[in-house]
Copies of this chain bind each other. A is one copy, B any other.
């Protein structure tokens, strides 16, 4: 048993959809969340900048003595995380491995869709991982840069007109391509899964990257005898912009009230 906390980070608050899954799957774990809200979003930035920020994020979590780090961020996970993961003394992983496996095991016709930020789609990491597992798979991709601002503007209700119009534009072509599995390649997207699922149709299986990463984390800790078997873990949250603004928005992503301290931290001076 290893009672050190789990570290989870994201460019902003989307990664809390993954934290929610970690809480459900591993209620005994302490969790430290870092949201780089002072520099959010990462999704339109260059690979080099994304990776520099990711190193600072991981460095901060390691300074809090975590036993594992999850990059609950599609953009970081697809922009070089694996190249640097080996530089750290604890497991550091993103959402792509578990997600690629889940997509390959879900598909029946081998036609897999992927939506994400511009940087995630540009990186082509999922293509490589899916094809390694299933060489005959066909991957259909679409960058959806307006989904994050739409979610952050709170326009997430099913039938919300702007969401509906944008989602139809982004997804219609993918429906025509006959995908039967769609990777929601950004931790914001589970909040609009209702709309996405309705447009894609009931036969299309949606893959939630945060949920898959949480399941991988549980396997990893279990296999290493490192699961914390407490009754209930403690949670703490760090952000790089105002801590005051955090709780209201965090509630949307967590699906429940924020328990635990919220503190502001500076990464730039590290």
A interface list, Cβ under 8 A from B: 37-40, 44-46, 48-49, 145-146, 148-150, 152-153, 161-162, 165-166, 169, 240-242, 244-245, 268
Contacts and interface: CB of A to CB of B under 8 A. Distances in A.
Q: Helix, strand, loop or mixed for chain A's interface?
A: loop
A38 B44 contact: no
A255 to B, nearest CB: 22
Contacts of A145: 149, 152-153
Contacts of A38: 39, 45, 49
How many copies of the shown chain assemble into the complex? 2
A44 B161 contact: no
A162 B152 contact: no
Nearest to A245: B46
Contact of A162 (B45, B148, B166): B166
A143 to B, nearest CB: 10
A162 B152 CA distance: 17
Contacts of A162: 146, 162, 165-166, 169
